[in-house]
Amino acid sequence: MRGLITICIILIGTVATIIHIKHIYGSQAARTILFKSHRSFSQTAQNSMNLFAKEQEKITTSSALLSDIIKDTFPAVKKVCIHAKTDGHIKVSFTPHTPVALINEKHLLIKSGALLNKNDLSDDFVNHLPSVTVVQKDTNTITICPSLCRFINRSDNSLYRNYTVTWFDKTHIELRDKQEKQFVLLASDQTVFSESLFSHYTQLKQGVTSVARAQKTKNWYVDVRFKDQIVLFAQKGERG
């Protein structure tokens, strides 16, 4: 009789443990994760998210941990909202980081200075961004310095509409004129792009004769990095 009581106690304890586990984690068989992605994500990214959701249905985890997993898996995700529904399903919605510039036609720069894959967001969301080419010795990696972030954040969109911007370092920034590609503004991260500066630039362009303009092997540089003076010089090289 004592042995029977002991067995009953063990069975009761086992059942209680199973009920406690189910209460904490829920029934995996009934669990479904429903993803709702922001329209700014590309179709490729959304497909990856759907596949990820199917995999996560087999895994039991807390909401906080699931949020961290999503952000680690999809770096373009900034905010995750998780709602547990009464039917045992989980609804997950998330929004992307807002990029401030397109870097080297492949990467998206966000305010923190981190780079995202361009393909994570839709073309409609990316095409309007300022575009900057970053030139570095190591072509396999791109290092985003704080001065570059500040330059992009303070530059007006009209600058990128009118010029192709190439960043070498904070003292060497080239802005190639999109209308007259043989003309290049040489600037630094401290250059103030005022109406007065562009007025002087236009006057200098007009001062270059048609004969000089016809020399296709020359680029005309307008160096505005000096205080109270602008330097115009020609240099051989291909036009951008």
How high does pLDDT run on average in the chain? 81
pLDDT at residue 240 in the model = 56
Calpha distance 239→150 (Å, rounded) = 28
Calpha distance 97→108 (Å, rounded) = 10
CB atoms under 10 Å from CB of 189, counted, come to 18
Which position has the token pair 């429903």? Answer: 34
61 contact partners, CB below 8 Å, separation of at least 6: 69
pLDDT at residue 94 in the model = 82
Fold (topology level) of 2-96: Ubiquitin-like (UB roll) (3.10.20)
pLDDT tens for residues 121-159?
Answer: 999 889 889 999 999 887 778 889 999 999 999 999 999
Assign 35 a pLDDT band (cuts: 50, 70, 90). Answer: confident
Strand partners, 117: 107
Task: Just give the CATH number of 130-236.
Answer: 3.40.50
Calpha distance 150→142 (Å, rounded) = 17
pLDDT at residue 81 in the model = 85
Q: So where are the chain's domains? A: 2-96, 130-236
The beta strand positions in the chain, using DSSP E, are 33-37, 77-84, 90-96, 99-103, 107-110, 115-117, 131-134, 163-169, 172-177, 183-187, 218-223, 231-236
> What single-letter DSSP state applies at residue 41?
B
pLDDT tens for residues 36-89?
Answer: 777 889 999 988 887 887 777 667 567 778 788 888 999 999 988 888 777 777
Most confident of the following: 87-91, 188-192, 235-239? 188-192
- Which carries the bigger pLDDT value, residue 60 or residue 203? 203
- Which carries the bigger pLDDT value, residue 5 or residue 98? 98
Calpha distance 126→158 (Å, rounded) = 17
Calpha distance 206→173 (Å, rounded) = 23
Model pTM greater than 0.85?
no
pLDDT at residue 23 in the model = 38
Strand partners, 164: 176
Calpha distance 119→129 (Å, rounded) = 14
Assign 95 a pLDDT band (cuts: 50, 70, 90). Answer: confident
Q: Is 235 helix (H, G, I), strand (E, B) or coil?
A: strand
